[in-house]
Structures are given as structure tokens and as C-alpha cells.
Structure 1
Amino acid sequence: MAADEADGDEGTERFDDPATVVRRWHRQMDFADLVAVCQGFIAGATRLVPKLRGREFTERQHEQVGNVLEKLRATAHWIETAVATGQTDLDEALAQLLRGE
């Protein structure tokens, strides 16, 4: 006996609520967008960093890159936390960092 016959579901079709389908689709698109943003950064860095070989940077340029990398690390940590816990709140310290304060 087939599983659907045992459950009494013979001949019935599965119906998902349209709102549920749309919410699921939006979640999948958000996930795809998140991965694309991360992959875009990786692709850009992979293309650009090798071009920097032998270049000398001013102290100000070192400082600017350091500031941006600090924001990047904090943002990556925020993403990790959001994925692991579902908490997407932007705490005030991160908000200030991202604003450059």
C-alpha cells in the first residue's frame, strides 16, 4: 500500500497558501541577494588585490583601508549573527561605525 493511500490522501493534490508561497519566495530571494553581495565582494577583491603588488600607499591610504576593513569585519560579524540567530537588529555601536562616527 502506498503512503498516500495509507493516510487517506488518495487523489488529493497538495495546496500551499499563496501568501506562504510568496513569503517563501521572498525569503529565498533575500538569501540569494545576501550570498550575491558576499560573492561580489570576494570576486572584486580577488580581481583587484593582485594588482596591488609592489604599490606603495601613503599613511592616509593605509588608514582609510583600515577603517573600511573594520566596517567590513563588523558587517560580516553582523551577517553571521543574523544567519545564526535570526536577530537582524543593528546595534548602536555598529550603526555608528558604519556611519563613520
Structure 2
Amino acid sequence: MELTIATAGSELTPKGSIDLVSRHELVDAGRAVLDEHGALVLNMKGVDFMDSVGVGAVIELAKTASSRGATFALIEPSPPVQRVLAVTGLADAWPLENPTDTV
């Protein structure tokens, strides 16, 4: 399983699987975006698999953003991501729309 990550401003769009092998890549990319933009929008439309380690990576990024006073949103969750978020009780944990779209 492989993960590629596209970056456009404060938005990261991972494509593929977020698991033990790829979690560090996602966290590192997310931290870099937070360093540069002070905000992180995680567009999950291209994620076809996410396990508990992937959920942990998302939680880590959300906590990092919060500790820095930055905004964090998870948008366009794919059906597999929606299932994992629902099962873990995190479906309503973060905004599901891009905060820059509502300004």
C-alpha cells in the first residue's frame, strides 16, 4: 500500500493508504504545512484505506494544530475514512469543510 501527498497552500491531499508504513509521511507533511501556513486542511477524498494508526496520525495533526493556535479541518472524507471516523466516534470531531471556503 502506497501513499502520495499533494500540497496546495494549507491543503494536503493524501491519496492511497494511511497506515503504519505511511503515517510518518503524513504527519511530517502536515507539520510542514502548519509551519508554513499556520493552518491545515486535510482533504481525504483520495484515501482508500485508513487503519487505527492512520486515525492516530490525524489526531496527532489536529492536536499539533491546536497547540499552535492553528486551524485544522478534515474535508471530503472518502467512504472508507467516513466508516473509520464513525466507528471511532470521531465523525464530528473536526470541521468537515474548508475554513477558507466559508470566509
Higher Cα radius of gyration: 1
TM value normalised by structure 1: 0.26
Q: Which structure has the highest helix share of the two? A: 1
TM value normalised by structure 2: 0.26
Higher relative contact order (CA 8 A, sep 6+): 2
